[in-house]
Chains A and B, each alone.
Chain A
């Protein structure tokens, strides 16, 4: 895992950005997460994680066109970078490895 460790929330955010592919901006990400995961997310916590992931190089962002809605403010669209894809894949593989290592018996109730 090392320094490329992803936190649980970070991983979910990264995955959601990937899901929304090209359409991932603040409110859309929140809506997607809230509808899919049934958990409420505040702008504060989301934005913090988004910026952190951008710092780590897993996300990149660019401004969209200004529109007349949302007070005329531009949207910032996030997309997953190559490094981000790689870290997501690694995370998935690690999970799978762990899943595979579980003896059959342990999961039966």
Chain B
């Protein structure tokens, strides 16, 4: 048998056996295995012996032979884990302040990351709940106007039917009106009148959009022209319950159009994750009846168009095909349709020159980055504090290494410590999130709840693991590398590289803080600027309410009565909503116009006195006046329009609008009549004294509530059964910038958080440095150093770091804020002092943080620390 010395059992299988077999059995069984192997090798040859050895090893792999997984000192890992855990808990208890700083930093960091995750989830889920979401698209139009492309969601009323008929990729196409065109419309039952937001839509509306019904059949509810579909809460307000409402008759009114409708369906109130806001829907055919027949053509944009694409449609190919769709019908058209996913209308709102250019999605990206930054800052705190604390644990490491601990088992210990820290922080963070969720919802306007569903759990595990590993990796590498002899001697030579890394991390933290502080400053300034910007008229004390009920019958008398109310400065009517944009037309032509270029004009149809009420300044010519009986064929243009037309002396010149000759009688200074995100476009005022949707009243400051009461009184004499619903223009205006306001608030909070966490780290680091230099400081004091010089000595080190961070951070801040501001048509100029202020603030905060401790140290009695060794 000895002659077969060279034949060895397969080493892999032997190692495998040693790995799984219980230690107390291993020796003799291995002996048996080897003996059998050797015997077989001599008898049957090496090959067979090896094969059967493998079989033997595999057959031994059974529960009674395998090591126990837990509670057995034979399995080293468990014992080590237990030991590490104990050491970790003890070190937490011993260095309590470090523990608390780490806990605060990590848990607030994790909580904000979690908040941002929840917010991003909520934002991303907007409008995504529709059953046909994948196929649901909205048709947009690219208008080519004076060399630029403007993208709008208003489409021709003729488009939907034509698309459905002629484009095979489009399975269904419907048209609907956006709710902001009409605002609140009065709905009456026999005994009450309620104003509600509504829209007109084609019968297939509820097939496309999944709004569940309580009563009625979604597919057929809007088939009948005389049908109305209302929301659950509207049904309850009007009739007491959705069941009672079904089949009842509702009287509806819009200006001087009235009609009666039968309730053919009741839908559940709209969920919070939709951009739709209607409370009732009428058949689109009704709207078509109201429109003058000459308004339905390929140059009038009187609906929004939604389509369901056939399965498997290539959207790019479809869009290429749609490009000429309208131009093929009417040569003179300047619009090119394209489709975009319906659910994109919340996040991807901005178009530049016909190309998608972001929108809310930018905020989502921004905050995702912010959350990563905040987490990074918190991780850096942990890294810095643990490496700084190295000297206090050097002895422990030295002893462990001396008795044979390997480097990676020490690394595992510190990683385990970091992961445990993170797990505790995650639990605290979840608590924080639950506690602050109501406030967070208030800021964001979402209804976020913390559901512990699978994705959230994955995210939590993912965040804890990454944070733990990230925070633990450097300490693990660094601490485990310490030389046992040196540490046991008490000499901890801190290498250049190590201090460099720690300093670098502090600098990095403060770079992020500087960027965040300056961003907060710029964002706040910009939002305030938008809200206070001189928009061409005084927005204060302007009251807007709808022309409804019987007012429409006797509109002019009502306006005159309104003007006579004490406290009312002036009043006028308009079809325009003033704040959210209104009608546009390209059917405006003038002498010398370039026939190749189409220009879009804003259309503001107004009554006498409206221009005066709004307070727009007349630059040339005159306003509409009752003294001239023929003002209905006159126009007043804005400066931008004159600029586009290139007229030197516009007054008295003729233009053609909708095929009629009109005379220019005045020019107003440019003023803002839609969102401030958009540039001012050419527009005209046209006189219409019959009826307009809205009534605008300017009232005197100081006595608003009395005046409003009187207006309400007048309103009630016309419409006794209506409630008087009004809004202040400035408040409506502010609503438009709700998104920005929310973002501004969120940036502020997260910016502050980031700075607090950074400072926590700095605080811990200072405390530690001081602790280590206490003897040195005491000796300095004994030798006659005064408190001030000690403070400077200690602060200098950190000030240099923060100064460096500011130097690096400012250019980055400048660039980021400039990029952000580029998204606005009206923006503040970046001033040098924003950045100086941001830098100074950062330095001040850092100084305060450090000084709290250095001051304390400087006042210390040196004898106390020198007395003991």
Contacts and interface: CB of A to CB of B under 8 A. Distances in A.
Of B1, B28, B36, most buried by chain A (CB within 10 Å of CB) is: B28
A58 to B, nearest CB: 16
Contacts of A74: 27-28, 31
Given A43-B56, A70-B35, A73-B34, A51 B28 contact: no
B31 A26 contact: yes
B35 A42 contact: no
Given A27-B35, A63-B28, A69 B1 contact: yes
A59 to B, nearest CB: 13
Interface string B12-38: 000000000000010111111111101
B868 interface: no
Interface stretch (B57-65, B122-130, B436-444): B57-65
B52 to A, nearest CB: 9
Given A51-B25, A69-B1, A70-B38, A44 B62 contact: yes
Interface string A49-81: 001100000000001000001110111100000
Contact of B28 (A44, A52, A73): A73
A73 B36 CA distance: 13
A4 interface: no
Contacts of A42: 55-56, 59-60
Interface residues of B, number: 25
B2 interface: yes
B66 to A, nearest CB: 11
A82 interface: no
A45 B59 contact: yes
Contact of B60 (A47, A63, A75): A47
Q: Which of A25, A27, A30, A63 has the most CB of B within 10 A?
A: A27
Nearest to B36: A27
Contacts of A44: 56, 58-62, 65
Contacts of B1: 69
A10 to B, nearest CB: 13
B56 A73 contact: no
B709 to A, nearest CB: 96
Contacts of B62: 44, 48
A75 B59 CA distance: 20
Given A26-B32, A42-B55, A69 B60 contact: no
Contacts of A75: 28, 31-32
A52 B38 CA distance: 27
B59 to A, nearest CB: 3
Interface string A31-53: 00000000000111101100110
B55 A48 contact: no
Nearest to A78: B28
Interface in B822-855: none
Contacts of A25: 28, 32
Nearest to A64: B28
A73 B2 contact: no
Contacts of A51: 25, 64
A89 to B, nearest CB: 27
A78 to B, nearest CB: 10
B865 to A, nearest CB: 61
B59 A73 contact: no
A70 B28 CA distance: 10
B60 A73 contact: no
A81 B92 CA distance: 54
A43 B56 CA distance: 6
A70 B64 contact: no
Given A51-B64, A69-B1, A43 B31 contact: no
Contacts of B65: 44, 47-48
Nearest to B55: A42
A73 B32 CA distance: 8
A51 B61 CA distance: 14
B622 to A, nearest CB: 109
Given A27-B36, A42-B56, A73 B25 contact: no
Q: Among A26, A42, A47, A48, which residue has the most Cβ atoms of chain B within 10 A?
A: A47
Nearest to A26: B32
B748 to A, nearest CB: 69
Nearest to B52: A42
Given A69-B1, A76-B28, A43 B64 contact: no
Contacts of A73: 27-28, 30-31, 34
Interface in B33-76: 33-36, 38-39, 55-56, 58-62, 64-65
Interface centre among A44, A69, A75, by most chain B C-beta atoms within 10 angstroms, is: A44
Contact of A69 (B2, B27, B29, B56): B2
A71 B30 contact: yes
A52 B35 contact: no
Contact of A71 (B25, B31, B55, B64): B31
Interface string B63-95: 011000000000000000000000000000000
Contacts of B64: 48, 51-52
A47 to B, nearest CB: 6
Contacts of A27: 32, 35-36, 39
Nearest to B1: A69
A92 B25 CA distance: 31
A47 B31 contact: no
Among B9, B29, B38, B58, chain A packs the most CB atoms within 10 A around the CB of: B29
User: Taking each of B33, B55, B58, which has the highest tally of chain A beta carbons within 10 Å of its own beta carbon?
Assistant: B33
Contacts of B58: 44
Contact of A47 (B2, B25, B35, B36): B25
A48 B64 CA distance: 6
Contacts of B32: 25-27, 43, 47, 70, 75
Contacts of A69: 1-2, 35, 38
A39 to B, nearest CB: 15
Contacts of B38: 69-70
Contacts of B34: 70-71, 73
Contacts of A70: 31-32, 34-35, 38
A56 B432 CA distance: 57
A91 B530 CA distance: 100
A78 B60 CA distance: 19
13 contacts: A30-B36, A42-B56, A44-B58, A44-B65, A47-B29, A47-B65, A48-B64, A48-B65, A52-B64, A73-B31, A74-B31, A75-B28, A75-B31
Given A25-B28, A48-B62, A71-B31, 20 more contacts: A25-B32, A27-B35, A27-B36, A42-B56, A43-B33, A43-B60, A44-B58, A44-B61, A47-B32, A47-B60, A47-B65, A48-B64, A48-B65, A52-B64, A63-B27, A63-B28, A69-B38, A73-B31, A74-B28, A76-B27
Interface of A: 25-27, 30, 42-45, 47-48, 51-52, 63, 69-71, 73-76
**5 closest Cβ pairs, A-B complex:** A73-B31, A44-B59, A26-B32, A76-B28, A70-B35
